[in-house]
Structure 1
């Protein structure tokens, strides 16, 4: 359950970034710390043409060890991988 929530949180970070809408409401588990730690890495590794939440979730799972240490630590603090 924690892994799912963490992946959804990270996907939410990207969905918010991809949408580029000022009023886009991120899920409550997407903390400012998570966004600050992961946004750049996830954009670089997981945002391609026509990103979807499902694609981003899968990418974060597959490329977890390519994410920066700050992002990995923040995801771990949310229970990712436990």
Structure 2
């Protein structure tokens, strides 16, 4: 359960940060390789009208298995995978 909460918090923050990079400073856990692996998937799956950090976090967690393999592997390499 702890790992699941960590995934929700961190993966969501990562994805939300990617989604709103222009508005917020990227957190340190969003590495260039993580951004490269996940940005397209996050934008495709989780960015709609009026995205918020909370919405993107929920979306990334809910659609984790729809993220591309590269994104999942990158998240897992950071200890954020399922």
**Normalising TM by the smaller chain, what interval?**
0.7 to 0.9
Between 1:5-14 and 1:25-34, the stretch displaced more is: 5-14
CA-atom RMSD, angstroms? 1.6
TM-score normalised to the size of structure 1?
A: 0.83
Residues 48-79 of structure 1: CA distance to partner in whole angstroms, max 9, x if unpaired? 00000000000000000000000000111121
* Corresponding residue of 1:9: 14
1: CA distance, partners of 2:65 / 2:36: 18
Aligned partners of 1:7 and 1:80 also within 8 Å: no
Gaps of 5+ in 1: none
2: CA distance, partners of 1:12 / 1:2: 16
Residues 7-61 of structure 1: CA distance to partner in whole angstroms, max 9, x if unpaired? 2122211121xx3x6xx52111100000000000000000000000000000000
